[in-house]
Amino acid sequence: MNNIFELKVQDNSLVAIVCETPFQIVNVIRILGEKNSSLKKCRIHLYLGKKFRHSEAVYERICKTSYFEEIIPYDYCNISYTWLSRILELFFPCSYLKRLAKKNTISKNYAYIFLPVYLYFGTALLRINKKAKMILYEDGFASYVEKNNLGVFSFVRKLIWWFEGVNFKRLQAEAVILSCPEMYIHNNDTPLRIYDMPILNKEKVILLNEIFNFSILDLYANKRIIYLSQPLDSPFNNEVKDSLLQLLYNKYNDIALLRLHPAEKSECSIKIGMENDQNWELVSINCILDSHILITPFSTAAFLPRLLAGKEPFVIFVYNIFDLSENKADIHSIIKNFKGVYKKQNKIFEILDVNEIEPILNKIV
C-alpha cells in the first residue's frame, strides 16, 4: 500500500459512516480494520440503511463488533409517502433524517462523513453537519469514473438548494478510497485525492463471515462458469440474455451457474442452475478461484474477486451485445483499466458478437 489515508482529527472526534448494501459493509470493515488507522482514536457512528435482504440480522451481528460507538439503522420506508419524503429531504433534512432513523436527535458535530455515493440519507446528513468533511469510499463501477461531484445533482435540486443558501463546495468530496486506484478514470473536473483501500486479511474475513452468517458452499467448486446477470429489462435484452443462458445450458450445464441481480425477479425461462442465497461479496472472497469463468454484461460483481481478494478469474464482458443506456465508451475504459491490474491480462475478454463466446469457452474450460 502506497497511499493509506490518514484523517487530520483530534482524539475522540465524531465520524459518521453511511452504508446501505453488503458491498459497502465489506468496505467499511476493510477501512476500520486497519490497526494503525487514524480512525482508531475517533468515535464512530455507523448509519446502516435497511435496503438489502436479511439486513435486520446483519444489523444485529454488527452490533456485536467493537468498531462503533453507536449503530443507527434507518429505513426509507419509515416515510410512507414519496412526496412527503422528497419535501422533507429537500427542505427539512434534519426532520428527514429523524424520521428515517426514528431518532429524536441526529448529531451535527461530525468531523468527517464517509459515503459510498451521494445517498439521499448521506447527503442530508452532510447538509446538517456544517463543518464536516466528506470522503467517498468504493461502491463498484461508478466509483472509478471521475465526475464533477455536483454533476450528480439535478438542475432543479441545485436551484432549490441555491435558494436555501446551501454551500455547494461543502458537498464536494475531499478524497476517495479505492481498491485499485490504477483503474480510476480521470477527467478535467475537480480532481479527488485517491487513497488505497486496506486489504482484507484473515481476521477481517472471519469477521465478515460472521456478520453475514456465511458458510462455504461446495457448489462453487463444481460450477466453474458463472453468469452474473443484471436488470437490463427490455424485450431485446431479455432475448439476448436467454440466448446466452441457452448456450450455457446446452453446452456446459454441468459446470454452469446463474446468479441473478438482487433487483431481478427470481425466475428464469432457461432451466439452468441458480444460486442466490449466499452473499456474492463473501462468495468472491471465500469460493471464487482463478480458474472460474465469470460472464456478465458489465456487473460490478465481476470485479469483486479481484477488488476484494486479489483473485483473477476469467471474465467475459458481453455488454456490447446488449442495448444499454450507459456509455459504452466509459464501460470500455473501466474494463481496460481493470485489465491493467490483472497479472494475466489475456484472462479478460470483451466480445462484440454472441458467436464469440463458445470458442472462448472451449479454449479456457
Give the separation between CA 175 and CA 63, rounded to whole angstroms. Answer: 28
Helix (H) or strand (E) holding 74: strand 70-74
Q: Where are the alpha helices (DSSP H) in the chain?
A: 22-32, 55-62, 82-91, 93-101, 120-128, 155-164, 202-211, 219-222, 235-252, 280-286, 304-309, 328-340, 357-364
Which three cell numbers, joined as nine digits, stand for 196?
488505497
Average pLDDT estimate for 205-220: 90
Q: What is the pLDDT of residues 319-334, one digit of tens each?
A: 999 988 777 888 888 8
Give the separation between CA 265 and CA 317, rounded to whole angstroms. Answer: 22
At residue 352, the pLDDT reads: 92
Does residue 211 surpass a pLDDT of 50? yes
Q: Do domains 14-211 and 219-364 have the same CATH topology?
A: yes
Hey, which residues does 136 pair with through a beta bridge? Answer: 115, 176
The architecture CATH gives domain 219-364: 3-Layer(aba) Sandwich (3.40)
Q: Look at 271 and 362; give whichever has higher pLDDT.
A: 362
At residue 187, the pLDDT reads: 63
Which three cell numbers, joined as nine digits, stand for 95?
426532520
Q: What are phi and psi of 83, to 5 degrees?
A: -65, -35
Model confidence at 295, pLDDT cuts 50, 70, 90, reads very high
Scan for cell 453468469, then name that residue. Answer: 227
The single-letter code of the amino acid at 259 is R
Counting every residue, how long is the chain?
365
DSSP state of 234: S
- Of the candidates 169, 91, 86, the residue with the CA atom closest to the CA atom of residue 130: 169
Give the separation between CA 151 and CA 142, rounded to whole angstroms. Answer: 13
Instruction: Look over the chain and give the mean of its residue pLDDT values, rounded to a whole number.
Output: 88
At residue 361, the pLDDT reads: 95
Give the separation between CA 307 and CA 75, rounded to whole angstroms. Answer: 29
At residue 36, the pLDDT reads: 61
Give the separation between CA 364 and CA 313, rounded to whole angstroms. Answer: 11
Average pLDDT estimate for 133-148: 80
Q: Enumerate the domain spans of the chain.
A: 14-211, 219-364
Radius of gyration of the chain, Cα coordinates, nearest whole angstrom? 21
Give the separation between CA 169 and CA 27, rounded to whole angstroms. Answer: 26
At residue 1, the pLDDT reads: 44
Please tell me the class of the 14-211 domain.
alpha beta
Model confidence at 80, pLDDT cuts 50, 70, 90, reads confident
> Are β-strands 225-228 and 175-178 bridged in parallel, bridged antiparallel, or unpaired?
unpaired
Give the separation between CA 147 and CA 71, rounded to whole angstroms. Answer: 31
- Of the candidates 59, 70, 73, the residue with the CA atom closest to the CA atom of residue 213: 59
Dihedral angle of Cα 256, 339, 291, 138, to the nearest 10 degrees: -80
Model confidence at 267, pLDDT cuts 50, 70, 90, reads low
Give the separation between CA 28 and CA 104, rounded to whole angstroms. Answer: 26
Residue 290: alpha-carbon gap to chain centroid: 22
In this structure, are residues 30 and 222 in contact, taking their beta carbons and an 8 Å threshold?
A: no
Give the separation between CA 302 and CA 282, rounded to whole angstroms. Answer: 13
- Return contacts of 220-224, CB within 8 angstroms, 24+ apart: 220/257, 220/275, 220/283, 220/287, 220/288, 220/292, 221/287, 222/255, 223/255, 223/256, 223/257, 223/273, 223/275, 224/255, 224/291, 224/292, 224/293, 224/365
Dihedral sign for Cα atoms in the order 202, 32, 184, 227: positive
Scan for cell 443462458, then name that residue. Answer: 245
The single-letter code of the amino acid at 113 is I
